[in-house]
Amino acid sequence: MSMASFFPLPRGKVIGEIRRVRRTGVFLDSVSFALTSREGAVRGTRPAHDLLHIIRQHLKGIIAITRYVVIIVMHFISNPLYKHAKLLAIIVLILITLVAGILLRNKIKRTAISVIQESEYIEYGLMTNATVPGKADRKEYLYRLLTNTTRSLIQMEIQARRLEENMRKGPGYATPLDAFRNGPREELLYVVCVQPDLTKQDYLATVDVDPKSPTYSQVIHRTYTGSVGDELHHSGWNVCSSCYDNPDLKRNLLILPGLHSCKVFAVDVGTNPRKPELYKVIDGSEMRSFNCTFPHTTHCLASGEIMISTMGDKNENGKGDFVLIDSKTLKVTGTWTRGEKIAKFGYDFWYQPYHDVMIASEWGTPKHFKTGFHPGDIPNSERYGSSLNVYKWSTRVLEQVIDLGNEGSAPLEIRFLHDPKSEEGFVGCAVNANVYRFYKSNDGKWKADKVIDIPAKKVIRDGKETLINGLISDILLSLDDKYLYISCWLHGDVRQYDISDPKNPKLTGQIHLGGEIEVPQLVTVKSKKLYGGPQMLQLSLDGKRLYVSSSLYSPWDKQFYPQMVEQGGWIVKLDVDTVNGGIKLDPDFLVDFGKEPNGPVIPHEMRYPGGDCTSDIWLAEK
């Protein structure tokens, strides 16, 4: 029997496949060594290490078996003395190879599935179910066996190359869609907790959000500030996805500014993510030395610096500025703004270098809003802001101020679309519950139009009719820029809008979680009544889970929701329909901050290890 009659394809192609198997084996040997030396750096859980270990231990075996099968079969085919033993020998060798291959495949497949379920860091495209051919296909079987094995090994090579490439990258994700499609499911939440008892310390709570864990939806660790009266508020990272091309940088410190103390707390979440430790405290005097107070939003820059927006001067008058911190030394190095023009007020900010722009929002004068909410202050332009401040990114100069008028009073959270080339975004205006879309016009100037208007609601208080505004306290965009989420702290509802057409957001989901508006029955989750209203939002990378916390700012919490302060705040989870739109409350998830060991606390901002929908800003190639 000739080679041509045994194999349905030319001998040269078969030999080519065999050589590819051999080359793949040599490559995998080198990759195996590289993975062994870098195993500690592999992101993922124990199953990921198990998969690499199994591949290292068993690849040589299957490659060797494949080589021996080829050599012996070629020998039998080419030697006319083995006429009667030829078929039997081939069948035996094929069975041996088949059994070895199936055993290895099944073992790797089981471990790979575990990896996908637990860490989602390694793409699963290696193993496919193979069926044994019948008699009619017997002549093709050996070729199919060899090519199938080769393809599996080549796919392993591709995965190994991708894993090696990921090891060489910096923090975060290459693009927003990379995070959306390939990011892991969140297993931990880092939650800023404010202690309403000013004799006790604020802290960072680590919450287990892994549904397979026995401590699911519980606080598993607390990292205290070591001081009192800090008023922790927002948080950010030492580095993020804007530094993705720098493999020398590591996202390992969560940055927590204190609104009242002006201290900045750097918390090490890299050494032990489940038990973060306080790494360093930057004293408030460093920030005050640059005439800046009330630090708010933290973002990292591509330069490796940390930038924090500030809302006041040393006398707690309104002043919008930005403090720079060296991410290596954790020293305040100065302010970011250049030129004589300084914003009247400050709050949040987002930069978009592709369009050479940064836009910042405004709250008000710290010495006034820290005493509570006073409706009479709203029309006073010296106490509350109503503008967006547009900076030229390359020169750091304030170039344009967009006046939103009374309807845009207290524009707070500001979000560009995640696409780094986008030239539009949204800002939520708290007082009158409006959302403005800002965008770059044809003349190069930036403009803003109101696209969402949530009307005030009538309620009866002490026999009198009064109006209550929604008070939009947070907005968030999904990483695929499909949905906009809004929390109305006083109305007590969370809203989902489809922004496929950013000029015309469409309401696709809404749910009520407490609020100031009287309802027939207070929302209850796991026997806890949800006093307070929905405030900070955090969305899972894949857009399917939305976490909601209840605290806005402790002086305002005490004013509007004293029962929430007394009984402790909460975090609940909403399940999201990402295809058709819609949100619903998960009745089995609740983090009850009324059960904390040092008394009830109130939770504010939430972060995931590795970045999330509001912490990271991506850069685009010019």
The whole-number pLDDT of residue 463 equals 78
For residues 104 and 184, membership in a common domain is answered with no
pLDDT tens per residue across span 135-156? 445 445 545 555 565 556 556 6
Spatial contact of 367 and 359, defined as CB atoms under 8 Å apart: no
For residues 129 and 225, membership in a common domain is answered with no
For residues 313 and 452, membership in a common domain is answered with yes
* Structure token pair of residue 210: 């892994």
For residues 154 and 289, membership in a common domain is answered with no
DSSP state of 173: -
pLDDT tens per residue across span 551-576? 999 999 999 999 999 999 999 999 99
Q: Can you tell me the distance from the alpha carbon of 612 to that of 500, in angstroms, rounded to the nearest whole number? A: 21
The whole-number pLDDT of residue 166 equals 55
Classify residue 622: in a domain, yes or no: no
The whole-number pLDDT of residue 284 equals 97
For residues 162 and 204, membership in a common domain is answered with no
Classify residue 322: in a domain, yes or no: yes
Domain that holds residue 484: 176-607
For residues 452 and 586, membership in a common domain is answered with yes
For residues 476 and 603, membership in a common domain is answered with yes
Q: What is the DSSP string of 457-526?
A: EEEEETTEEEEE---EEEEEE-TTS-EEEEEETTTTEEEEEE-SSTTS-EEEEEEE---SS--SS--EET
DSSP state of 387: E
Q: Which of 142, 168, 194 is the last residue of a domain?
A: 168
The whole-number pLDDT of residue 459 equals 85
For residues 188 and 57, membership in a common domain is answered with no
H-only helix segments in 119-206:
138-168, 176-182
Would you say the C-alpha torsion 305, 308, 314, 320 has a positive or negative sign? positive
* Residue 147 burial (CB count, 10 A): 17
Spatial contact of 217 and 303, defined as CB atoms under 8 Å apart: no
The whole-number pLDDT of residue 168 equals 53
The whole-number pLDDT of residue 192 equals 98
Positions of the chain with pLDDT lower than 50, given as ranges: 1-49, 115-133, 135-136, 138-139, 142
For residues 41 and 24, membership in a common domain is answered with yes
For residues 112 and 259, membership in a common domain is answered with no
Whole-model pTM?
A: 0.75
Classify residue 209: in a domain, yes or no: yes
Q: How many domains does the chain have?
A: 2
